[in-house]
Amino acid sequence: MNWLTNFVRPKILALVRKDSAPDNLWDKCPACERMIFHRDLEANLRVCPHCDHHLQLGAKARLALLFDGGIYERQDVRGVPVDPLRFRDRKRYGDRLREAQAATGERDAMIVAAGAMGGRTAVVAAFDFAFIGGSMGTAVGDALLEGADQAVARGAPFVVVTASGGARMQEGALSLMQMARTTIAVDKVKEAGLPYIVVMTNPTTGGVTASFAMLGDIAIAEPGAIIGFAGARVIEETIRQTLPPGFQRAEYLLDHGMLDMVVHRRELKERLVRLIGLVMPATSSTALVPVATAG
């Protein structure tokens, strides 16, 4: 064993392997554990063709799915001070941020976009779970505030797609404050008489659920998504009981009255377009006017 065999050889092998052994062309469904060819998975919107399990969808793919022709305009979110606490656990938060930025190509965990959805302008804010578990820090709060302002300025509905482990603890109490800031954001949309629709995807937990995610005029979830306040492990450790089957799944929340509907990813856009059309008639002239009664 020497430097050549330990370091150089694996690197060369890795380079060669990329072409000859395409083991990354197959994904394993985390639910049914069957193998899925990656193109089939993408073509099926990252829903398992065998068991219908909804795998996580990145923010950009989500936006492409929701906007007409996959075309949308990204909205700038104001810059925020990085790492206000100079937080450090086993790793510096500043390094974690830079790594996440390098890996995802995004500045933070939420993307805001505007575009046509079913022929009408809509603003969508989507979480990228790949960015530090979709955790909510100041930048996510600012993204929500920006999205809300854009929706109000355009008189457009505001759709938020969640995928988040909750507050970003590396920002300490500042991340907690985002629960208030994001609530302010969605209230602005509601006060402007515009619809605020939430689509909860796997997972949506903690401070994200306990703020803007649960405040939707209409609450939608993807099948099987874990949605809750406390993590399952924390609950088990606290009460020392086994959790009921399906606990904190979208269907469980629907049963307990916490959601309006559970919608398959394939039907999501059409359902959003229909709902928005129902709560926001296209122009006032086409709205139904009460017929004057004779007399």
Partner 1 sequence: MRTYLDFEKPIAELEGKIEELRHVSDASGINIVEEVSRLRSKTERQLRQTYAKLTPWQKTLVARHPDRPHFSHVVAALIGDFTPLAGDRRFADDPALLGGLGRFRGRPVMVIGHEKGADTEGRVRHNFGMARPEGYRKAQRLMRLADRFGLPVLTLVDTPGAYPGIDAEERGQAEAIARSIETCLALRVPIITAIIGEGGSGGAIALAVADRVLMFEHAIYSVISPEGCASILWRSADQAAEAAEALKLTAQDLERLRLIDGVVAEPLGGAHRDPEVAIATLGDAIERAFTEVAGTVGEPLREARRERFIAMGRTPIA
Tell which positions 245-274 bind partner 1, by CB under 8 A: 247-248, 256-258
Question: Which tokens sit at 1?
Answer: 């064993």
Question: Which tokens sit at 210?
Answer: 């306990």
- Using the minimum distance from each CB to partner 1, give the nearer residue, 121 or 247: 247
DSSP 3-state assignment of 262? strand
DSSP class of 75: P
Question: Which tokens sit at 148?
Answer: 């809300």
Stretch that binds partner 1, among 2-10, 49-57, 162-170, 280-288 (CB under 8 A): 162-170
Q: Is 108 a residue that touches partner 1 (CB under 8 A)? A: no
What is the phi/psi pair of residue 105, to 5°?
75, 10
| Helices 265-279 and 59-66, axial angle in degrees (round to 10) | 50
- Using the minimum distance from each CB to partner 1, give the nearer residue, 38 or 91: 91
What is the phi/psi pair of residue 34, to 5°?
-85, 155
- Using the minimum distance from each CB to partner 1, give the nearer residue, 257 or 295: 257
Q: Figure out which of the listed residues 1, 239, 289, 294 binds partner 1, where binding follows CB under 8 A.
A: 239
Tell which positions 186-225 bind partner 1, by CB under 8 A: 187, 206-207, 209-215
- Using the minimum distance from each CB to partner 1, give the nearer residue, 49 or 172: 172
DSSP 3-state assignment of 73? strand
Question: Which tokens sit at 129?
Answer: 């779970």
**Residues near partner 1, by CB under 8 A:** 80-81, 84-85, 87-90, 138, 141, 145, 167, 169-177, 179-181, 183-184, 187, 206-207, 209-215, 227-231, 234-235, 238-239, 241, 243-244, 247-248, 256-258
